[in-house]
Structure 1
């Protein structure tokens, strides 16, 4: 894959992280006013309308049978799990905390690629993965009673997001990104509609709450499109480090709008996660360079 494709993928990743983090902040600001199911439904409905209009104008609405393809079905299921779990976590944890734990996603993707896609992972990267997940534990800091539900939610969102990213690369290249976004938005909307009643029922929405969800839906559309583009155009090992730009947004927004700042142990956990992730990417890039230089597959790094 050439450098221009990687640069394009990296730019998409930076934009996606900014869009998703701002979306998270807006969603967090309305969690007191409605349940997770209603948030998923209202935001998803707005996003679905936007993305369907765009897809139709581009002539990108393909056959809905694509949803039945294993890779697409897995992506949709994983996205639903990730969205549901993460919104639940946002209502119970500071934005910077949830974002920091989410930074273990590249390590989870590497782990998933090794376990399910047959990618070679040497002992150094295995240690880096273990260290990264240790950083997650430092941030969560389970007490004598074990893990809190908020911590379980955010970890579940990491697992779901990793499965989503890995399955995205298995979707046929001729399927338009906007169509993938449309199918995803509709699936999440239907899931939210089904969960409104079990999660406490419908609540009236003041105008300011509706406006925030409208803005969140627009940002979500931007995030959907750019994250799909990032995973399809760039090499995972090159673009994945750019996920960490979301931490800058999360810490700044958390301080300015929610009055939250990382404490000492959270900072330690963040440093471990980021360092582990960057080392993993370094080893992957070095392995790829050896393949090019030697013209054959090297031993596991």
Structure 2
């Protein structure tokens, strides 16, 4: 089996695991306050990634966590995680996942605005097409606009800012240390939301605790297989398989949550995925770094 094939399969497995994680989180938040799910998910993830760092005989917390790039990264991750969980709780899974697929376009735009990257006219057109796709899903008209959909847009901005900050973060930080920091931020996001939702009126059932714990394990598998995918084969070949997450999410949305995506939502998804694929292929799966396309 070639490296490209192994990397592509790892990417598909990772995206399937992320889709399972999203579906389980949405299911848990139907009965448990979002703030509690955030904190529990963060605590379990923090324990898992800290354990992986201990196993690798590296510090759990890197000394650079308070450096300017990492502080910026943490602020964007806080917003991204918080709004993503709110989107899962209050918006359809299908539209939330579709809007999040526009992240590569937002990253590209951010790289142009803040990192001095240069992109050619064809990629500007691709970004424009992708954002039209987002508008088709949002439907910003008084008759059909859903306010909760804004959570997915804000989550996309947060995650894109995190990715841009990660690109300039210290290279000495391992994936485990970044994961640990990410779950610490997730716990903080839960505390930010807690005053607005309060504590649950009754103790959590063992099933809900098991779901959150299982979701975290699935998330760790997804994160590690994503890392494996990005380190195996050509990035330009492997990265486009990120969009398989949308297919898995649609399956869960339709058969688990009973969602029925309409024509405009599907058309917007196609525009986002198509423009994102073009952008990723033209950039070799990387954040633009000064070369025109």
TM range (shorter): 0.7 to 0.9
Provide the residue aligned with 2:253 in structure 1: 254
1:227/1:260 CA distance change after superposition, 3 Å: same
Aligned twin of 2:101: 103
Tell me, in whole angstroms, the C-alpha distance in 1 between the residues paired with 2:169 and 2:124.
27
CA shift for structure 1 position 146: 8.4
Larger deviation: 54-63 or 35-44? 54-63
1:67–1:9 CA distance, 2 compared to 1 (3 A): farther
Which of 106, 112, 115 is the matching residue for 1:114? 112
* Equivalent residue, structure 2, for 1:132: 130
Aligned counterpart, 2:271: 272
1:45 partner SS: helix
Q: Could you tell me how far apart the structure 2 residues matched to 1:155 and 1:13 are?
A: 24
1:89/1:62 Cα in 2 relative to 1: closer, same or farther (>3 Å)?
Answer: closer
Q: Which of 282, 293, 300 does residue 292 from structure 2 map onto? A: 300
**Cα 1:28–1:182, aligned 2, differ >3 Å: closer, same or farther?**
same
- Report the counterpart of residue 292 of structure 1 in structure 2: none
8 Å Cα contact 2:130/2:273 also seen in 1: yes
C-alpha separation between the residues in 1 aligned to 2:231 and 2:157? 20
Alpha-carbon distance, 1:277 to partner: 1.4
| TM-score of the pair, normalised by structure 1 | 0.85
Distance 2:243 2:234 in 1: 16
Deviation at 1:250, TM superposition (A): 0.2
CA contact (8 A) 1:25 1:253 kept: yes
CA distance in 2: counterparts of 1:12 and 1:121, whole angstroms: 29
Give the C-alpha shift of residue 240 in structure 1. 3.8
Distance 2:290 2:189 in 1: 45
Residue 140 of structure 2 aligns to a residue whose secondary structure is coil
Is 1:87–2:102 an aligned residue pair?
no
Q: 2:41 aligns with which of 37, 40, 43?
A: 43
- Does residue 58 of structure 2 align to residue 66 of structure 1? no
CA contact (8 A) 1:78 1:163 kept: yes
Q: 1:256 to 1:232 in 2, by over 3 A?
A: same
CA contact (8 A) 1:35 1:199 kept: yes
| Map of 1:263 onto structure 2 | 262
Secondary structure of residue in 2 paired with 1:300: coil
Match of 2:212 in 1: 213
Where 2:208 maps in the other structure, the secondary structure is helix
What is the CA distance between 1:229 and its match in structure 2? 6.0
TM-score, normalised by the number of residues in structure 2: 0.87
Q: C-alpha distance in 1, partners of 2:7/2:165?
A: 17
Give the corresponding residue for 1:294: none
